[in-house]
Amino acid sequence: MSSLRIECVAKEGCRIGESPVWDEKEGALLCVDITGRKVCRWSPLTGETQAIPVDAPVSSVALRKSGDYVITLGTSFAALKWKEELVTTITQVDKDKANTRFNDGKVDPAGRYFAGTMAEEIRPAVLERHQGSLYTLLPDLSVVKHFDQVDISNGLDWSLDHRIFFYIDSLSYSVDAFDYDLQTGKIGNRRSIYKLEKEESIPDGMCIDTEGKLWVACYDGGRVIRLDPETGKRLQTVKLPVDKTTSCCFGGKDYSEMYVTSASDGMDKEWLSRQPQAGGIFKITGLGVKGIPPYPFAG
């Protein structure tokens, strides 16, 4: 039994770090800084972070089968060529809305890119309500809208048998499940599987482990929690030295390490001086459970 170890591996400090994704081919961790408007790639070998600046809030990044990456940028799905530092728009959503942007996104086991939108925040978690929607970018580059009325579209992942889609709308303080049809990419039968407790604060990013349990980063909760989606029980709490934990993924050798992103936006001087690692990326080892590789976008 190894013991739990939490280390801040990238101290540069994102404004809102999000969407950690392990890139096995590069042996590196991808993530974004939403308001800092950059896509980052941290190498465990060099300990260094490369960053590609973009010209709008970038809220998620995903691997792409044909190589390189796809991102959600402003209200667009876009392609990112890393070496060339080249971003090209694929398609735009929320054309009827003036004040929204994409937030979290992830690729499903069939290679579809799911991502949702939200109104621009006035300050963290303060925004015009019900402005967001959940979308999918299909491999043929067409877009499907699943539903609207979302407050802050956030964490998403799929059960190991691909029959359930897990989803978080942060301001519902709930982790939800939908029946999932992998053949069609359609979702239905929404229900709540876990309601956050007060000190857990706001549910944000999420990932699944090889035992089918969910890990949810709690924004303003300074922790990741492990949930059993079948019983609705919390199994474990891992506290981190920063309050604004935003998302988590597994990576590293055999996906045995967990990476947690964090934010510093919305913290005053005093708060930042108490938590100088705010905005950093944390590596947790010794959890005794592994994750699964991220699915690449098939288009």
Residues in contact with Zn ion by CB under 5 A are: 104, 154, 204-205
CA angle (111, 26, 55) in 5-degree steps: 70
Q: Are 225 and 202 in contact (CB under 8 A)?
A: no
44, 124, 229, 276: residue in contact with ligand GCO (rule CB under 6 A): 124
Min dist CB 90 to ligand GCO, Å, is 21
For position 202 contacting ligand GCO by CB under 6 A, the verdict is: yes
Best CA proximity match to 244, nearest among 259, 262, 266, 260: 262
Look up residue 68 and give its amino acid. D
The annotation status of 12 as a binding-site residue, yes or no, is no
> Is residue 84 a known part of a binding site?
no
Question: Can you tell me which of 117, 136, 246, 262 binds ligand GCO, judged by CB under 6 A?
Answer: 246
Q: How far is the CB of 173 from ligand GCO (least distance, A)?
A: 10
| 125 lies in the site for ligand GCO, by CB under 6 A | yes
CA angle at 79 for the pair 75 and 81, rounded to the nearest 5°: 140
Report the site for ligand GCO in 208-227 (rule: CB under 6 A): 219
* Among ligand GCO, Zn ion, none, residue 60 binds (CB under 5-8 Å by kind): none
**Where in 11-50 is the site for ligand GCO (CB under 6 A)?**
16, 18, 34
Q: State which residue, 77 or 299, has the beta carbon closest to ligand GCO.
A: 77
Contact of residue 102 among ligand GCO, Zn ion, none (CB under 5-8 Å per partner type): none
Q: Which of 204, 209, 243, 265 is catalytic?
A: 204
Q: Which residues contact 87 (CB under 8 A, 6 or more apart)?
A: 54, 55, 71, 73, 78, 79, 80, 81
End-to-end CA distance of the chain: 42
Active-site residue flag, 104:
no
The 28-33 sheet, strands edge to edge: 17-23, 28-33, 38-42, 49-53
* Closer Cβ to ligand GCO, 281 or 299, answer by number: 281
φ, ψ for residue 139, nearest 5 deg:
-55, -25
- Choose between 243 and 299: whose C-beta lies nearer to ligand GCO: 243
Is 211 marked within a binding site? no
Residues 6 or more apart whose CB falls under 8 angstroms from that of 120 comprise 99, 100, 101, 127
Chain centre to alpha carbon of residue 173: 16
Looking only at the bridges linking them, the beta strands covering 281-285 and 58-63 are: unpaired
Q: Which is nearer to ligand GCO, 111 or 267 (CB)?
A: 267
> Looking at this protein, which amino acid is placed at residue 270?
E
**Who contacts 276 (Cβ-Cβ below 8 Å, separation ≥6)?**
none
Q: How far is the CB of 242 from Zn ion (least distance, A)?
A: 15
125 binds, among ligand GCO, Zn ion, none (CB under 5 to 8 A by kind): ligand GCO
132-171 positions binding ligand GCO, by CB under 6 A? 152, 154, 170
- As measured in angstroms, the least distance from the Cβ of 150 to ligand GCO is 12
Binding partner selected for residue 202 from Zn ion, ligand GCO, none, CB under the kind-specific 5 to 8 Å limit: ligand GCO
Contact 96, 64 (CB under 8 A): no
Nearest of 240, 188, 179, 242 to residue 215 by alpha carbon: 240
- Residue ranges binding ligand GCO (CB under 6 A): 16, 18, 34, 103-104, 121, 124-125, 152, 154, 170, 202, 204, 219, 246
Catalytic annotation, residues? 204
